[in-house]
Amino acid sequence: MEPAASEECRYTYEQHRETADWLLDHTKHRPSLAIICGSGLGGLADHVKDPVVFNYRDIPNFPQSTGTRRGAAVLYNGH
């Protein structure tokens, strides 16, 4: 059961590591900065050059988005 929006969601170190390892295994990019945009800032994604895109639903332990922009995705750029 997913926690309610007002409930605090906590993940273990192992779950964070699994998520990070999955992302590292699926791209050659090693970003030094990440920006997570809510639906109000999703237009920023339109300015990313050569993005590598992951849908939230494919990433282990990643919270499922309730937004609709781009089907909820993480974008990487190696530049």
pLDDT at 38: 67
Alpha-carbon gap, residue 79 to 50, rounded angstroms: 9
More confident residue, 13 or 77: 13
pLDDT digits (tens, 9 = 90+) for 37-79: 666 766 777 787 777 778 888 989 987 766 655 555 666 665 5
pLDDT, residue 68, reads 58
What is the rounded average pLDDT of the residues 23-36? 80
Domain ranges of the chain: 30-76
- 57 φ/ψ angles, rounded to the nearest 5 degrees: -65, -20
pLDDT for 15 equals: 95
The tokens for 53 are 């895109």
Amino acid at 72: A
